[in-house]
Chain A
Amino acid sequence: MRILAIDDDPVFLELLAGMLRMIGYAQVTTMSSGQEALHELDFSGLLYDCILSDMQMPDLDGAALTAAIRQRTAYRQTPILMITAMSGKNTVDEAFAAGATDYITKPLDIIELRARIGMVDRLLAERRRLAEFARLVGQRAAAAEIKAEFETPIMIPGFDRGIEFLAMENYLLTLGVKRMYSTSAFAIHIKNAGIIFNKASGSTYVQMLGDVAAQIVDALKTEEVMIAYAGSGTFVCMTERDLGQATDDLEILINIGLMDFETIYASDRLPVPQVRVGEPARSAFLSPTKPTRIIERAIQSATTPPEKRPKSGQLVA
């Protein structure tokens, strides 16, 4: 993500750039005034993904700078985050009115910075995915409406890390006995998928699946996991390693990420998708069953509320 940061205090700019590097964002350009920033946007030939600007600056303050940036076609939708002292929080209203996206308070707290920039990152990823989706939909000129069947394990546009469900089943069938026993599967079920399917158009439903898929990928980005959409609002994940996080934590992480899209769903009069992560399922030694049984058990766990699941811990197929 290419970031442009503006503040009249060189110490703050150095601090901000350092902190952004610490959380994995190294492409940061700094400017000491709003005028310099506008010149950079107009003449550098670079397109910035995110703009961070101090609120209180001499000459052009944060709100005026935001308004000027929004007049540039290329930056009408670019996330602009205001940086303001706690004491100046009430002045952020002006910046929001001018088109700011969010704000961060000074002194910088790295947890807050990571959360806010992470949200921008997810927003940009979602926009890219939607743009790709629109492109794919546009290609299907004859099909004005996508026909999505609820139970069908469709391929979700833009879900690059996903594999076909059939391919996942086939993969399981090719595993030898030893690898089979070291493989586990868990499922992520969209609890309100049925409701959204009934209320939304086919393309909106597929977009919703894409939103959930993006959050799953984000939450599992450090894990070596194979993911497929199994239909009926359920994703299946398969891994040969232990997950680095508890399924409860994973569930919370995905659901929090989905809440970022609350306003988008509200505008379509749809509920925000909410997921349930099931218990991992493994094959049992000395109990030969068909290899794909672990997928069935994983799906069964995710589609069953925890209080109704058997209390034996990990599921064994």
Chain B
Amino acid sequence: MTAIELRGGRRPDHPLAAAERLFRQVAADRLDVLSTAWVRLDSGHHIAEALVDIRSVSHKIAGTAASLGHAGLGQLAEKVEALCMNGSGRDDLQRALRPLISALAELIDD
């Protein structure tokens, strides 16, 4: 096998179809977690918990999105994860979170 079509995950018979389905199924939960964390950051309450949640969810998205053909989503998640790891400021993190949340919402609507 020399050429492998990874983006075929949307075809039901593709070997990655189950992973793609699961990725979309958990997207709603992940969107909820990120949205809640964003609100916490904005309000200034429970920031430590928010950071843990954001890092965990962005790490998981960054680890799978690109392999399933969602490269843009993967890059956004990578950026958010990097900001969490570097201890960046709340404003930077919120700015980076916005497009990630939007992209996840688009995936759910797709």
Contacts and interface: CB of A to CB of B under 8 A. Distances in A.
Interface in A1-24: 9-12, 14-15, 17-19, 21-24
Q: How large is the interface on B (under 10, 10 to 19, 20 to 34, 35 or more residues)?
A: 20 to 34
Contacts, number: 66
A267 interface: no
Contacts of A9: 60, 63-64
A279 to B, nearest CB: 25
Interface in B8-56: 9, 15-19, 22-23, 26
B16 A15 contact: yes
A13 to B, nearest CB: 9
Nearest to B25: A11
A106 interface: yes
A274 interface: no
B90 interface: no
Q: How large is the interface on A (under 10, 10 to 19, 20 to 34, 35 or more residues)?
A: 20 to 34
B6 A107 contact: no
Would you call the interface of chain B mostly helix, strand, loop, or mixed?
A: helix
Nearest to B66: A107
A134 interface: no
A11 B22 CA distance: 6
A11 B19 contact: yes
Most buried by B among A18, A22, A85: A18
B1 A23 contact: yes
B15 A106 contact: no
A18 B18 contact: yes
Contact of B6 (A11, A56, A87, A110): A110
A294 to B, nearest CB: 31
Nearest to A58: B56
Contacts of A56: 59
Interface string A26-58: 000000000000000000000000000000100
A19 B66 CA distance: 13
Contacts of A23: 1, 4
Nearest to A107: B66
A10 B25 CA distance: 11
A22 B1 contact: yes
Given A23-B1, A56-B59, A18 B64 contact: no
A14 B67 CA distance: 12
B70 to A, nearest CB: 10
Contact of B19 (A14, A87, A106, A110): A14
A107 to B, nearest CB: 4
Interface in B58-105: 59-60, 62-68, 74, 78, 81-82, 85
29 contacts: A9-B60, A9-B64, A11-B19, A11-B26, A11-B64, A12-B63, A12-B64, A14-B22, A15-B16, A15-B19, A15-B23, A15-B68, A18-B17, A18-B19, A22-B1, A23-B1, A24-B1, A56-B59, A85-B59, A85-B62, A85-B81, A87-B78, A106-B62, A106-B64, A107-B62, A107-B63, A107-B64, A110-B4, A110-B6
8 tightest A-B CB contacts, nearest first: A106-B63, A14-B19, A15-B19, A107-B66, A18-B16, A18-B15, A9-B60, A107-B67
Given A56-B59, A107-B62, 17 more contacts: A12-B60, A12-B63, A14-B19, A15-B16, A15-B23, A15-B67, A18-B9, A21-B15, A22-B1, A85-B62, A87-B82, A106-B63, A106-B64, A107-B74, A108-B67, A109-B67, A110-B4
Interface of A: 9-12, 14-15, 17-19, 21-24, 56, 85, 87, 106-110
